[in-house]
Amino acid sequence: MIKRRTLLGALALGGALRPAIGAPANVLRVGTQKGAAILMAERQRRGLETLLNPIGIDVQWAEFQFGPPILEAMRAGSVDIGLVGDTPPIFAQAARSDLLYVAAVPSGASAILLPPASTIQSLPDLKGKRIAFARGSSAHNLTIAALEKAGLKPEDVRLTGLAPADAAAAFERGAIDAWTIWDPFYALHEARPGVRVLVESTAIAPQSSFFIASRIYTEANPDILAKVLGELSVTSGWAAANPAEVAQLVSAATAMPYEPVSRAIARYPFKVLPVSQADIRAQQEIADRFLRLGIIPNKINVADQIWHANT
């Protein structure tokens, strides 16, 4: 089982590398990942550059494999805003990172996949099996919630923390029994011969993603942040109306085949919304679940880290 000390220690290391003592006024540093279709479309269309360059603000992009490293970089002071799943902010807050939820985005699809020749037929069959997921990611919570739904405890299975690229390799060579993963990786592997979907996230628990920003940047630049979120909302509307073009952009940017990317884009809800009370309750449920299971060491109050614009 993954030890909370290992995970929280990794989060704390980011802060030790470079304390976030200030935010440059002339640059916006954006953290993105392959699953962040909104940001990938934004990056290719250069909407943020068009918005910010004329007022003297450069836009710098940094790509990460998944969410937790984005928030580690933010804690270290090298990223100002990023889009992550529901679980990374929980671990970041438990590690006392001073970050803020600034907008909500409905999540794309996630699932627990089974490799060819697997005999697993239902969630209870996961008992004693090796399940891979990216630790601290949305897949972490989905895995734990799926086990709870099956009446299993984390210690009833072999939890294996692997980043998406490493998990994909382990999955393909049969070194793991199940893999909890999100789009576009889910779409890339679900159609391969013999691969089965054990369960999709919609059957387990609602999931959301969030734009997270450093408190330092947010408090220093609230008007700029509001403009940035407005631009991202515009891009979301464009993406929702042009899924084929978005799939082409994402496929070209990631070197992933068009067909699975197109399938992932088709089930991605392109919206940028204010963080709602329902979002806060759902996040608090995750935090409380992880505290109850000893995955995080201290109780957190999600509502303490919500940005309230114009206040």
Q: What is the CATH number of the domain that holds 247?
A: 3.40.190.10
At 152, list the tokens. 């299993």
Q: Are 102 and 115 within one domain? A: no
Last residue of a domain, one of 203, 238, 262: 203
Identify which of 36, 139, 43, 23 has the alpha carbon closest to the alpha carbon of residue 84: 36
Give the number of domains in the chain.
2
**Token pair 């893999």 is at which residue?**
179
Q: Is residue 41 part of a domain?
A: yes
Q: Are 90 and 114 within one domain? A: no
Q: Are 101 and 215 within one domain? A: yes
First to last CA, the chain: 42
Please list the helix, strand and coil fractions of the chain in percent, rounded to the nearest 5, in that order.
Answer: 50, 20, 30
Q: Is residue 311 part of a domain?
A: no
Q: Are 285 and 219 within one domain? A: yes
pLDDT of residue 22: 54
Q: Are 78 and 14 within one domain? A: yes
Looking at 182-310, list the stretches that DSSP marks H as alpha helix, in order from N- to C-terminal side: 185-190, 215-220, 222-241, 243-254, 258-266, 277-292
Last residue of a domain, one of 184, 203, 222: 203
Residuewise pLDDT in 10s, the chain (311 residues):
444 443 444 333 333 333 344 566 799 999 999 878 899 899 989 999 999 999 999 999 999 989 999 999 999 999 999 999 999 999 999 999 999 999 999 988 999 999 999 999 999 999 999 999 999 999 999 999 999 999 999 999 999 999 999 999 999 999 999 999 999 999 999 999 999 999 999 999 888 999 999 999 999 999 999 999 999 999 999 999 999 999 998 898 888 999 999 999 999 989 999 999 999 999 999 999 999 999 999 999 999 999 988 75
Q: Is residue 130 part of a domain?
A: yes
Q: Are 82 and 219 within one domain? A: yes
Q: Is residue 310 part of a domain?
A: no
Q: Is the dihedral of CA 192, 193, 194, 196 positive or negative?
A: positive
Q: Are 214 and 301 within one domain? A: yes
Residue 105 — φ and ψ, nearest 5°? -135, 120
Q: Are 85 and 45 within one domain? A: yes
Instruction: Please calculate the CA angle 262-37-160 and round it to the nearest 5 degrees.
Output: 95
pLDDT of residue 10: 39
Looking at the chain, list the stretches that DSSP marks H as alpha helix, in order from N- to C-terminal side: 4-17, 37-45, 47-52, 67-75, 88-94, 138-149, 164-172, 185-190, 215-220, 222-241, 243-254, 258-266, 277-292
Q: Are 148 and 280 within one domain? A: no
* 210 Rama class: left (phi>0) / alpha (psi -120 to 50) / beta: beta
Pairing of strands 110-114, 158-161: unpaired
Q: Is the dihedral of CA 307, 293, 285, 131 positive or negative?
A: positive
pLDDT of residue 24: 65
**Token pair 């990317």 is at which residue?**
261
Q: What is the pTM of this model?
A: 0.88
* 54 Rama class: left (phi>0) / alpha (psi -120 to 50) / beta: alpha
Last residue of a domain, one of 170, 203, 236: 203
Count of beta carbons in the 10 Å neighbourhood of residue 147: 23
Q: Are 191 and 216 within one domain? A: no
Q: In whole angstroms, what is the distance from residue 31 CA to residue 57 CA?
A: 16
Q: Are 82 and 218 within one domain? A: yes
Alpha-carbon Rg for the chain, nearest whole angstrom, is 19
Q: Are 244 and 270 within one domain? A: yes
> Residue 232 sits in which domain range?
4-108+207-305
Identify which of 110, 37, 99, 40 has the alpha carbon closest to the alpha carbon of residue 68: 99
pLDDT of residue 3: 43
